[in-house]
């Protein structure tokens, strides 16, 4: 057996603690799979004195994470997080000093992925990030190494467990977004500051990585249209159910005749389809691999064990000498996309909160018709003359920009009480 | 870029033709991903004169596949099939002569996998077989390289598209097994000789490979209990539906307190679960990866593009220098299992074809009670005094051997008209 792979790790939170536990208590099976021992030799975290499940007391300790780049190790594992600051400094320094890097840091890679991949190539080392997208699901490896022969037409996924948990709970309980979010925070399924999750930003980070792997583009948020879930109401979810759909926050990247369409958006996904049936904190990815067909992957997208499992799989890859390009191709060959994605063409769910007065439906229908948006079905529940009611419609296939133009006019009507809601329908 | 990876290929049928097309028409993207060109240099097939979509006329031609092992290539792709004969001879000769091998041959590996893996290790070359289990789904790579940190508790899957197509069609049309099989043969979804598919043998071959990767055992059929689907009736499928289940032919391997339980069996899987909802020719695998949780993979398990995609992913792996142990661990460390698997403990679906005469239900219930098999629910549809009727029961959790013992006694009753049917219930 070759000499051990020496590992330095920055960050001893939930995931770092899990990885440390796996490496320190390894029973020989990992070494067998890796053809060599994985040896954790140095760590860095904010608080040395903190009690931890994994005993790191005999390891080299670094108060300053960035100094791990200079320690006697083959690989640096970065679990600090954040697109800038010590995470970026450590990863850059480690790659420059010829150390492999394993990271779970989606923000860092979504912003600086191509530059870091280039650094890794210059030094002839690996930059691996299975844990950065969809947690334990080996989707990074699948897109990088497996689903490559026929190209990818589309990659779409439920990439944020917090949002999927909230939407699942809203459906199960009929409660409001705010109430379910507050409960999720109490239960530890949502962060104290949930903006990055519920605003779609975290999903966009992950989509940028999957999109880079699938389509050979520079990972970037610039060309990803991003929308969160805070505006989804229990009523939307109930209507969706009535039509046979569920509302899911999807990251979607697909080739279209007008270019690559990348977006993070709540979408109506038919119940009974793979993506439509993903429940709770689970993540899932559907990859359309050309003639090879659709491939669906589902599993835990966050948490100690799933994420630590992904980190360890990257370490074993490196131990076995798998040092390929970070995004599957030489960094210099990644193409840069910019500007907003092309307007989406699909059916849409529309909800209008209106005064129940004569003529309101005619007005809405008229505005939609003027914008070439045609209606497939409509629900108006009950009647409350002079009171607020909801009108819900599903359109035929139409352009996002046509719908948006019509909604802007409709929103200006004095019979319309709130911003109309539009949610695309998406095959699941 | 390094020098090309030189490839010799035996077998130019559906899959071989697909691989040849991909390699001969490669547009540079594969080379980018592989860090070098993949060059098909030599081929062998039964009939040189046969018209083919891929133009192989300028390649070195071998009438005898086994001589490919001696040609000037780095890798031999074996797509001949069969556990013995030229396929085995070619793979052995290629490995001995220091050539990497990529194969889709599940029968060969299920019988000789450990010996071939040892040969590959001795020569320091790769033996890869992503295409041998679940076609385009990258489950071999996932079990070998990704889901390794926490071990695997169970791996279960729908691994034979022909059987899943037949069962799906039986449910959709209410027609008999024989009628649907005949139609599937006409449509090309079933072989002229369907025994290996419908008898469960093909699923057993694939399960042996997944089980080896997951549990570190020598691939072997010896410890896999194998049952096919020919005895499943439209009535069973209709009753399953009534209870909220679908009948699926599953390959299942799971750790139990009494040892590794490996079996291929039709099972009742709840509709609305990942495995329960796999339709038509699709394949799927559910891997319980310890604390990292369940992971689900679904996609096309056969056919030109999915299988060629898997073969090409192995070639790209080899081009990038990924030469790990074939089954994830050194061949010498694989453990040998033998003997029948431990008796399964689960609820069972039981169907009895009986004469509708007084006392028949009491007799069946009595025999089951004597064997400690307790009943959760029962359906007897209609009444036809003196005529044959079906009685269907779902048991509480009980031992397979207890059920089998009771059924043997019950089958001896003169009121029981046919061999009773027992199908385990399985979480999906």
Chain A residues with CB-CB distance to B26 below 8 A: none
pLDDT at A186 over 80: yes
pLDDT for res A327:
98
Rounded Cα–Cα distance for residues B295 and A7 (Å): 27
pLDDT for res B394:
95
Residue of B nearest to A135 (CA): B292
Residue of B nearest to A318 (CA): B322
Contact criterion met (CB < 8 Å) for B291 and A297: no
Number of Cβ atoms within 10 Å of the Cβ of A389: 18
**A395 - beta bridge partners?**
A375
pLDDT for res B339:
80
User: In degrees rounded to 5, what are phi and psi of residue B16?
Assistant: -60, -40
pLDDT at A1 over 60: no
pLDDT for res A249:
98
Query: Between A and B, how many residue pairs show a Cβ–Cβ distance under 8 A?
Result: 172
pLDDT at A88 over 70: yes
Check residues B128 and A243 and name the one with the higher pLDDT.
B128
pLDDT at A183 over 80: yes
ipTM, two decimals, is 0.95
Nearest by CB: A322 against B138, B304, B322: B322
CA distance B323 to chain A (A): 8
Share of residues in chain B with pLDDT > 90 (%)? 89
Rounded Cα–Cα distance for residues B129 and B127 (Å): 7
- Of A106, A128, A141, A206, the catalytic one is A206
Residues in chain A: 428
- Of B206, B248, B335, B408, the catalytic one is B206
Average pLDDT score, chain B: 95
pLDDT, average across residues B305-313? 97
- Give all strands of the β-sheet with A127-128 in edge-to-edge order: A60-62, A38-44, A5-10, A75-78, A100-103, A127-128
DSSP letter at A187 equals: H
Chain A residues with CB-CB distance to B299 below 8 A: 289, 292-296
pLDDT by residue (tens digit) across A160-174?
Answer: 999 999 999 999 999
Average pLDDT score, chain A: 95
Q: Decide if B206 is catalytic.
A: yes
Chain B residues with CB-CB distance to A141 below 8 A: 138, 141-142, 145-146
pLDDT at A60 over 90: yes
pLDDT for res B26:
87
Residue A310 CA neighbour count, 13 Å, CB half = 31
CA distance A213 to chain B (A): 10
pLDDT by residue (tens digit) across A107-130?
Answer: 999 999 999 999 999 999 999 999
pLDDT for res A380:
83
pLDDT by residue (tens digit) across A362-415?
Answer: 999 999 999 999 999 998 877 788 889 999 999 999 999 999 999 999 999 999
Chain A residues with CB-CB distance to B104 below 8 A: none
- DSSP string of A224-259? EEE--STT--HHHHHHHHHHTEEEEEEEEEEEETTE
DSSP letter at A273 equals: S
Contact A55, A21 (CB under 8 A): no
Chain A residues with CB-CB distance to B320 below 8 A: 322, 324
Residue of B nearest to A136 (CA): B292
pLDDT for res A384:
80
Structure tokens at A274: 């793979």
pLDDT, average across residues A256-272? 96
Rounded Cα–Cα distance for residues B68 and B10 (Å): 8
For an interface test with B, give the residue of A2, A134, A137, A146 to mutate (most B CBs within 10 A): A146
pLDDT, average across residues A16-37? 93
Contact criterion met (CB < 8 Å) for B148 and A313: yes
pLDDT for res A189:
86
CA distance B326 to chain A (A): 10
Q: Name the band, by pLDDT with cuts 50, 70 and 90, for residue B1.
A: low
CATH numbers and ranges of domains, chain A: 5-132 (3.40.50.720), 139-300+325-333 (3.30.360.10), 345-426 (3.30.70.260)
Rounded Cα–Cα distance for residues B225 and B194 (Å): 19
Rounded Cα–Cα distance for residues B286 and B207 (Å): 12
pLDDT for res A118:
98
Contact criterion met (CB < 8 Å) for A313 and B149: yes
| CB contact burial B250-259 (16+ within 10 A = b; e otherwise) | bbbbbeeeee
Chain A residues with CB-CB distance to B309 below 8 A: 146-150, 289, 292
Q: What is the CA radius of gyration of chain A?
A: 24
Contact B33, B317 (CB under 8 A): no
């Amino acid at each position: 057996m070759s000499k051990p792979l020496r590992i330095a790790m920055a960050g001893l939170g939930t995931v770092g603690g899990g990885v440390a536990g796996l490496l320190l208590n390894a029973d020989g099976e990992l070494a067998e799979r890796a053809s060599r021992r994985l040896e954790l030799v140095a760590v860095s975290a904010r608080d040395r004195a903190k009690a931890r499940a994994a005993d790191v007391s005999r390891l080299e300790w670094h108060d300053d994470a960035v100094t791990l780049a200079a320690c006697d190790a083959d690989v640096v594992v970065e679990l600090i997080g954040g697109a800038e600051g010590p995470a970026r400094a450590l990863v850059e320094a480690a790659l420059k000093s010829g150390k492999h890097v394993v990271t779970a840091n989606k923000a860092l890679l979504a912003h600086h992925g191509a530059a870091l991949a280039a650094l890794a190539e210059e030094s002839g080392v690996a930059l691996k990030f299975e844990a950065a997208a969809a947690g334990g699901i080996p989707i990074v490896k699948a897109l990088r190494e497996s689903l490559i022969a026929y190209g990818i037409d589309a990659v779409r996924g439920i990439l944020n467990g917090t949002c999927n948990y909230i939407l699942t709970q809203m459906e199960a309980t009929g409660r409001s977004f705010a109430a379910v979010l507050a409960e999720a925070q109490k239960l530890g399924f949502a962060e104290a500051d949930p903006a990055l999750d519920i605003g779609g930003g975290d999903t966009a980070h992950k989509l940028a990585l999957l999109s880079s792997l699938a389509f050979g583009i520079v990972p970037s948020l610039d060309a990803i249209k991003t929308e969160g879930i805070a505006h989804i109401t229990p009523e939307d979810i109930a209507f969706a159910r009535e039509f046979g759909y569920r509302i899911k926050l999807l990251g979607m990247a697909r080739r279209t005749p007008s270019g690559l369409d990348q977006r993070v958006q709540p979408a109506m996904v038919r119940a009974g389809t793979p993506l439509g049936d993903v429940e709770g904190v689970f993540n899932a990815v559907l990859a359309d691999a050309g003639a090879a067909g659709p491939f669906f992957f589902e599993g835990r997208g966050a948490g100690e064990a799933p994420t630590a499992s992904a980190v360890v799989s990257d370490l074993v890859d490196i131990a076995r000498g798998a040092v390929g390009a970070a995004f599957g191709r030489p960094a210099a060959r990644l193409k840069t996309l910019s500007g907003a994605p092309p307007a989406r063409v699909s059916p849409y769910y529309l909800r209008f909160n209106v005064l129940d007065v004569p003529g309101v439906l005619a007005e809405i229908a008229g505005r939609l018709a003027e914008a070439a948006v045609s209606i497939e079905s409509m629900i108006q529940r009950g009647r409350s003359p002079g009171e607020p009611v909801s009108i819900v419609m599903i359109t035929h296939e139409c352009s996002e920009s046509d719908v948006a133009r019509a909604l802007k006019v409709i929103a200006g009507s004095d019979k319309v009480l709130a911003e109309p809601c539009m949610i695309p329908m998406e095959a699941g």
